[in-house]
C-alpha cells in the first residue's frame, strides 16, 4: 500500500444556508479544497452523504456533483454509512489512492438538512436505527442515547451537570471557529436548562441540524511535496461495526465499534492513545462525547466526565478533544461531519487553526459513528 497524504482542505460554515442548494454547497466546499491544494488535476471523486434522497428528494448524487465540478468524465461514487458517511467516503478514497488505482482524489461530504421540518428531520435521522424494532416503538436516536445516559448516570453516580460541562466546553471551543454553526459561549445554566428532547437528554445535549459541506484533496505522499510544504499523512484507518439493534448489545455503556475501530487504527499507525495530540470525536449527544473519550482510550470507563471536569480534554489539556466545537457546536451536517473532522485535524496539524490552534499537535485522530455505535470509523493523521 502507498502512503497517502492530505494536501488540501475546504469547509463551508455550518449554518442555515437558505440560498444554497445541495449542489452549490458541495461545489463551494470542493473549490475551497482544490484551491488549498494548488488545483491538481483530479482523478476521482468520493462523496459522503447520508440521505439526500430523504432530505432533498435527490438520489444519484455522485454524478450530479461530479458534473457540477467538471469531473463528469471521472469515476465518482457516493458513500453512505448513516451518520459516518463522511468518514466512510474518506475510508474508501484512502484505499483508492493507497492501492495505486488513482493519484489525486477529491473526497467530500455534504448534507442539506434545513429544507425539512424538525419532525421530518428527526424521523429521517431515526432511519439509521432499526425501522421495525426501534423506530417502530417511537424511539428516536436521541432516545437511545438518553437510555444510555440514564444508565450511565445511575451506574457511575453522575449528574446532568457533568454532561452540561462538556457542552459548555464545546461551545467555548466553537467560539473561536469561523466554520462553527454556534460560534459563541454558553453558561452552565443555559446548558442545563433547556427543553427536554428525550429525558434525560435536553436540547442543549444534542448536536443541531444544519447545512454543511467540506472536502479534502488526497494523493500519494510521495507526490504531495509538489503541492504543499505542510503535508499531513493518513497513517491509520479502520471501520468496525456492532449489533444493529441496541438491545442486542452485551455492554450498554460502551461503543464496541469505537473500541475496535480505534484499537485497529492505532495499531496500523503504531501509536497508543497517549500519543494522540488532538482528537475530533463524534459527540452527537453529550453522552456520546463522554463515551467516545472513554472508548478511544483517553479516560477509563466511567471517568470520561471526570476528564471533562479536570480540563484534560480542553484545548490546553492532555488530549484536546473537539477544538472545532465538535458536532455539538461546530455543527453536524450528517454526511459531511466526518470530512469536517478530518479538515479540522489537518488544519491543527499544519498549525493553521488560527485562534483555536492547540499547542504542538503532531498526531491527530477523527472518530465518526453511525446510529448508536452501530459503526465507527477512526482515522489517524500525522504531520510530516
Partner 1 sequence: MSPSNLWREIPQRYRLEAAFCPKCLTTYFPPRELCTECGSRELEKKKLPTRGKLVTYTVIHTPPKGFELYAPYIVGLIKLEDGTHLTAQITDADPDKLDLDVDVEAVIRKVKENGRDGPIYYGYKFRPILNANGAPERKC
Q: What DSSP element (H or E) covers 289?
A: helix 286-295
CA distance linking residue 35 with residue 334, whole number of Å: 24
What the block records as the C-alpha cell of 32 is: 475551497
Number of residues binding to partner 1, judged by CB under 8 A: 35
Q: Does 229 bind partner 1 (CB under 8 A)?
A: no
CA distance linking residue 2 with residue 114, whole number of Å: 40
Please identify which residue in 39, 59, 100, 136 interacts with partner 1, judged by CB under 8 A: 136
Q: Does 195 bind partner 1 (CB under 8 A)?
A: yes
Please identify which residue in 8, 40, 86, 143 interacts with partner 1, judged by CB under 8 A: 143
State which residue, 151 or 188, has the beta carbon closest to partner 1.
Answer: 151
Judged by CB under 8 A, the stretch of 33-41, 128-136, 214-222, 364-372 that binds partner 1 is 128-136
Which residues have a Cβ under 8 Å from the Cβ of 4 and sit 6 or more positions away? 94, 97, 98, 218, 219, 220, 221, 233, 234
Q: Does 56 bind partner 1 (CB under 8 A)?
A: no
Please identify which residue in 128, 148, 232, 307 interacts with partner 1, judged by CB under 8 A: 148
CA distance linking residue 53 with residue 225, whole number of Å: 39
Which residues have a Cβ under 8 Å from the Cβ of 151 and sit 6 or more positions away? 252, 253
Please identify which residue in 59, 120, 161, 226 interacts with partner 1, judged by CB under 8 A: 120
Judged by CB under 8 A, the stretch of 97-105, 239-247, 314-322, 355-363 that binds partner 1 is 239-247
State which residue, 91 or 246, has the beta carbon closest to partner 1.
Answer: 246
Q: Does 251 bind partner 1 (CB under 8 A)?
A: no
Judged by CB under 8 A, the stretch of 19-27, 112-120, 275-283, 312-320 that binds partner 1 is 112-120
State which residue, 147 or 265, has the beta carbon closest to partner 1.
Answer: 147
Q: In angstroms, give the least distance from the CB of 380 to partner 1.
A: 30
Residues 231, 216: contact at Cβ < 8 Å?
A: no
Burial annotation 47-56 (CB, 10 A radius, 16+ → b, else e): bbbbbbebbb
Residues 34, 42: contact at Cβ < 8 Å?
A: yes
Q: Does 197 bind partner 1 (CB under 8 A)?
A: yes
Q: Does 241 bind partner 1 (CB under 8 A)?
A: no
Q: Does 247 bind partner 1 (CB under 8 A)?
A: yes
The burial class, CB within 10 Å (0-12 / 13-18 / 19+), for 175 is: middle
Task: Pick out residues in 152-191 that bind partner 1 (CB under 8 A).
Answer: 154
Q: Does 134 bind partner 1 (CB under 8 A)?
A: yes
State which residue, 364 or 373, has the beta carbon closest to partner 1.
Answer: 373
Length of the chain: 384
Burial annotation 83-115 (CB, 10 A radius, 16+ → b, else e): bbbbbbbbbbbbebbbeeebbbbbbbbbbbbbb
Which residues make up the interface to partner 1 (CB under 8 A)? 118-120, 122-123, 126, 132-140, 142-143, 146-148, 150-151, 154, 195-201, 245-248, 252
Amino acid at each position: 500500500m502507498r502512503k497517502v497524504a492530505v494536501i488540501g482542505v475546504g469547509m463551508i460554515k455550518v449554518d442555515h444556508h437558505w440560498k444554497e442548494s445541495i449542489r452549490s454547497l458541495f461545489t463551494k466546499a470542493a473549490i475551497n479544497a482544490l484551491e488549498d491544494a494548488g488545483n491538481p488535476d483530479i482523478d476521482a471523486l468520493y462523496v459522503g452523504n447520508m440521505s439526500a434522497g430523504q432530505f432533498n428528494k435527490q438520489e444519484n448524487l455522485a454524478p450530479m456533483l461530479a458534473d457540477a465540478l467538471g469531473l463528469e468524465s471521472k469515476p465518482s461514487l457516493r458513500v453512505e454509512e448513516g451518520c459516518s458517511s463522511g468518514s466512510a467516503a474518506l475510508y474508501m478514497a484512502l484505499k483508492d489512492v493507497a492501492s495505486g488505482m488513482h493519484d489525486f482524489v477529491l473526497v467530500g461530504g455534504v448534507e442539506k438538512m434545513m429544507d425539512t421540518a424538525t419532525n421530518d428531520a428527526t424521523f429521517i435521522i431515526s432511519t439509521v436505527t432499526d425501522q421495525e424494532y426501534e423506530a417502530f416503538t417511537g424511539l428516536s436516536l436521541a432516545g437511545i442515547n438518553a437510555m444510555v445516559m440514564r444508565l450511565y448516570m445511575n451506574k457511575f453516580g453522575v449528574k446532568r451537570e457533568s454532561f452540561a460541562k462538556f457542552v459548555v466546553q464545546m461551545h467555548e471551543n466553537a467560539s473561536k471557529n469561523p466554520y462553527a454553526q454556534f460560534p459563541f459561549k454558553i453558561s452552565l445554566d443555559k446548558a442545563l436548562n433547556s427543553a427536554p428532547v428525550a429525558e434525560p437528554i435536553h436540547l442543549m445535549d444534542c448536536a443541531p441540524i444544519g447545512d454543511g459541506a467540506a472536502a479534502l484533496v488526497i494523493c500519494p505522499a510521495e507526490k504531495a511535496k509538489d503541492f504543499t510544504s505542510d503535508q499531513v499523512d493518513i497513517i491509520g484507518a479502520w471501520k468496525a461495526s456492532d449489533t444493529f439493534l441496541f438491545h442486542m448489545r452485551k455492554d450498554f455503556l460502551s461503543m464496541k465499534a469505537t473500541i475496535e475501530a480505534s484499537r485497529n487504527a492505532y495499531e496500523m499507525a503504531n501509536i497508543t492513545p497517549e500519543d494522540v495530540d488532538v482528537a475530533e470525536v463524534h459527540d452527537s449527544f453529550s453522552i456520546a462525547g463522554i463515551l467516545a473519550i472513554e472508548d478511544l482510550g483517553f479516560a477509563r470507563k466511567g471517568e470520561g466526565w471526570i476528564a471533562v471536569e479536570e480540563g484534560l480534554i480542553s484545548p490546553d489539556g492532555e488530549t484536546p478533544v473537539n477544538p472545532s466545537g465538535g458536532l455539538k457546536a461546530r455543527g453536524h451536517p450528517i454526511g459531511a461531519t466526518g470530512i469536517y473532522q478530518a479538515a479540522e485535524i489537518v488544519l491543527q496539524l499544519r498549525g493553521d487553526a488560527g485562534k483555536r490552534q492547540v499547542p504542538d499537535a503532531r498526531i491527530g485522530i477523527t472518530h465518526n459513528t453511525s446510529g448508536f455505535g452501530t459503526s465507527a470509523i477512526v482515522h489517524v493523521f500525522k504531520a510530516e
